[in-house]
A and B are shown apart, each in its own frame.
Chain A
Amino acid sequence: MSRHLPILIVLCPLVGALIVPLVGRVSVRAARGLTVLATMSSLACAVAALREVLSGDDWHYHLGGWAPPWGIEYVVDPLGGGMAVLVALLATLVAIYAGPYLRGFSSLRGATFDSLFLLLTGGLLGITLTGDLFNLYVFLEISSLAAYALLGSGGERAVVATFRYLLVGTIAASFYLLGLGYLYALTGTLNMADLAIRLAAVPSGSAATVGVVLIVVGLAVKMAVFPLHGWMPDAYTYAPPPVTMFIAAVMSKVSAYALIRLLFFVLPAGDAVATARDVLGWVAVAGVLAGSVLALPQKDVRRMLAYSSIGQMGYIVLGVSLGNAAALTGALLHVGAHAVAKGCLFGAIGSMPRQTVQVEIAGFAGAARRAPLTMAAFTVAALSLIGMPPTAGFFSKWYLLRGALEADAWVFAAVLLVSSLLSAIYFFRLLEQIYFADGPPVSEPGQASGVARRSWRVVAPVVTLGAIVLLIGLFNGALVTSVIERALPEL
């Protein structure tokens, strides 16, 4: 079976999504167990496939035995395989984390939630592994549709926020598809490797430019890059905790992966791509600053983290825009670092007792005494977003800074430093509440429900993510030389 690993990574969650609603009728526990099992086996397959690829060549798998460019192929290379491991890891932890949240649900609702979660996971994994541009669109839609349903399940305000995301996200997906249509019309192929060869032979004209612009704008909306981020803060704020944890961690990163894949591996390095990268650079600068500044006055912690995500996505886009080896290393390292840290932060917030509808900063007073482990993980993740050594965020920002200096982009370097300062301000405001403010007395009624929510299934994933943030930081050298340097395009 081991020669089928690339397809098994995607099949485990997709088949699981179909079985879970049927099993859920008989036994809710079995359905929950199946969800965790599906994500875990997907993670095991992804790790095994990545190991295989790191010790040898890229792995091409032809669906239905049809050779590309006619058939659809899945490709595991260090870049795609690494992303698959990241997505599957977060999915496994969130699948465990969701257990206590789903306790009060009817068996049908619970099974539907799990099924949608597995569909979302399968869709995101498909994007990371497919070698076919149209297949990428299909997986983009699978993951987006599942995400709309999951985000909307958080109550009335979530429905309104999600409907907005649905409209914007559908337009973005149409942009991607339309751009893909232009490239298909020019070359007659949808296979990424084949398209890269054929497109290089096509003289650059307005059709190719329009295609590139549409694809970049479509993916930028999905990534919530600054001026196109409007859907994101509300959607993240009102969604159920496990959903925000997963979607904030990996969904925008997978779109960022798709952008990197297209800009550096598929589209030829002509005028259109160079201009797109220039524009993205200034957009990223605006996004980094705007995200950090807008995060400052927020009272709701989830909303603050959502705006911080906009700033952090700016870092990744900045790395893509600079495009030299150091900057791309930083961007890829930041994809991993930010995914793990954001998952940890949203997970920790979701484990807090829900006294009020909004999770206000003042509500965190004295939280360190009530939940020391969770808050320790929260602190590590927050320090990583600020960029303090030895956490993962320091090293990704270090590579980005080096990339900016190598390219003589002094403005970008200055923006990196200023935004780190701003994020230090808004995170330390929160950390002060957590560690130094007096919390409510232990006998308060909200406290009891808080303890009930904090079972090991909630604490363990959050603490694991916090530990991974530290581990990525401590072993960043090994990670960069063994995976990320091999994932870089030939520059």
Chain B
Amino acid sequence: MRSRFGSPVLDASARLLAPFMWLFAAYVMVHGHDSPGGGFQAGVILAASIVMLRLVRGGGTGSGLSSRGALTLACAGPLLFGGIGIGSLFSGGNFLDYGALPLPMDPVQVRVIGTLGIEAGVMLGVTGVLVLIFDVLASWDDGTV
């Protein structure tokens, strides 16, 4: 007999763990510049939390992110990266010259915000791709996402 997903113990512990994983992902992303970490690592942590929810609750609803959503993230994250680069290209700088972004702050802060935006893009992209890889491997039979 195949046991179904989940049990009270698993449910409770996953529920307890997930918010801390998200918080840690945010910390790793924001502190990427002065400690080990950054967008890639934060994305991996975020994806790990979603894969954990999938393992505990099954692939259906309630796992936080659908496969479609993961594909959207995988495209939208890099698009955010590219969008910030193209934004600086439209506001007078070269591609990826965040200092040129038209924000009402002093140039150093604009650069920080630009870098942070790019890191966020990387994080979302990595999360989407890793969840997609998990979903494709888990649904190997029909090969559809």
**Which residues of A line the B interface, CB within 8 A?**
4, 7, 11, 14-15, 18-19, 21-22, 25, 61-65, 106, 108
- Given A7-B89, A108-B145: A63 in contact with B94 (beta carbons within 8 A): yes
B interface bracket (residues with beta carbon within 8 Å of A): 20 to 34
Residue B37 is within 8 A (CB to CB) of chain A in the complex? no
Q: Is the CB of B145 within 8 A of A64?
A: no
Nearest A-chain residue to B144, judged by Cβ: A108
Binds A, one of B6-14, B26-34, B95-103: B95-103
Nearest B-chain residue to A14, judged by Cβ: B82
A15: chain B residues at CB < 8 Å are: 79, 82, 86
Nearest A-chain residue to B74, judged by Cβ: A21
- Given A21-B75, A65-B99: A11 in contact with B94 (beta carbons within 8 A): no
Nearest A-chain residue to B88, judged by Cβ: A64
Of all A-B residue pairs in the complex, the 8 with the closest CB atoms, nearest first, are: A65-B97, A64-B96, A7-B95, A18-B75, A65-B94, A18-B79, A64-B97, A18-B78
Nearest-Cβ distance from residue B118 to partner chain A, whole angstroms: 11
B79: chain A residues at CB < 8 Å are: 15, 18-19
Q: Is the CB of A21 within 8 A of B71?
A: yes
CA distance A11 to B85 in the complex (A): 10
Nearest-Cβ distance from residue B88 to partner chain A, whole angstroms: 8
CA distance A164 to B42 in the complex (A): 33
Nearest B-chain residue to A115, judged by Cβ: B75
A63: chain B residues at CB < 8 Å are: 94-96
A19: chain B residues at CB < 8 Å are: 75, 79
- Given A11-B82, A11-B86: A64 in contact with B94 (beta carbons within 8 A): yes
CA distance A4 to B100 in the complex (A): 15
What does the 1/0 interface line of B82-113 toward A look like (CB < 8 Å)? 10001001000111111110000000000000
Q: Report which of A18, A64, A108 forms a contact with B82, defined as CB distance below 8 A.
A: A18
Q: Is the CB of A22 within 8 A of B99?
A: no
B139: chain A residues at CB < 8 Å are: none
A106: chain B residues at CB < 8 Å are: 144
Chain A-chain B contacts (Cβ-Cβ < 8 Å), number? 44
Nearest B-chain residue to A74, judged by Cβ: B95
Q: Is the CB of B75 within 8 A of A22?
A: yes
B71: chain A residues at CB < 8 Å are: 21
- Taking chain A's interface residues, is the majority helix, strand, or loop, or is none over half, making it mixed? helix
CA distance A25 to B75 in the complex (A): 13
CA distance A180 to B74 in the complex (A): 30
Q: Is the CB of B97 within 8 A of A22?
A: no
A7: chain B residues at CB < 8 Å are: 89, 94-95
CA distance A106 to B72 in the complex (A): 17
B75: chain A residues at CB < 8 Å are: 18-19, 21-22
CA distance A14 to B78 in the complex (A): 10
Q: Is the CB of B89 within 8 A of A4?
A: yes
Q: Is the CB of B82 within 8 A of A65?
A: no
Nearest-Cβ distance from residue A117 to partner chain B, whole angstroms: 15
Nearest-Cβ distance from residue A67 to partner chain B, whole angstroms: 11
Q: Is the CB of B95 within 8 A of A4?
A: yes
Nearest-Cβ distance from residue B91 to partner chain A, whole angstroms: 12
B72: chain A residues at CB < 8 Å are: 22
A14: chain B residues at CB < 8 Å are: 82
19 A-B pairs (CB sep. < 8 Å) = A4-B89, A4-B94, A7-B89, A14-B82, A15-B79, A18-B75, A18-B82, A21-B71, A22-B76, A62-B94, A63-B94, A64-B96, A65-B93, A65-B94, A65-B97, A65-B99, A65-B100, A106-B144, A108-B144
A11: chain B residues at CB < 8 Å are: 82, 86, 95
B82: chain A residues at CB < 8 Å are: 11, 14-15, 18
CA distance A397 to B95 in the complex (A): 41
Q: Is the CB of B144 within 8 A of A61?
A: no
A64: chain B residues at CB < 8 Å are: 94-98
Pick from B71, B86, B94 the residue with the most CB of A within 10 Å. B94
Nearest B-chain residue to A106, judged by Cβ: B144
B144: chain A residues at CB < 8 Å are: 106, 108
CA distance A183 to B113 in the complex (A): 35
Nearest A-chain residue to B80, judged by Cβ: A18
Q: Is the CB of B94 within 8 A of A61?
A: yes
A21: chain B residues at CB < 8 Å are: 71, 75
A61: chain B residues at CB < 8 Å are: 94-95
CA distance A14 to B83 in the complex (A): 12
CA distance A61 to B85 in the complex (A): 14
B98: chain A residues at CB < 8 Å are: 64
A22: chain B residues at CB < 8 Å are: 72, 75-76
Nearest-Cβ distance from residue A6 to partner chain B, whole angstroms: 9
A25: chain B residues at CB < 8 Å are: 68
Nearest-Cβ distance from residue A94 to partner chain B, whole angstroms: 22
19 additional contacts (CB under 8 A) given A14-B82, A61-B95, A64-B95: A4-B89, A4-B94, A7-B89, A18-B75, A18-B78, A18-B79, A18-B82, A21-B75, A22-B72, A22-B76, A25-B68, A62-B94, A63-B94, A63-B95, A63-B96, A64-B98, A65-B93, A65-B94, A106-B144
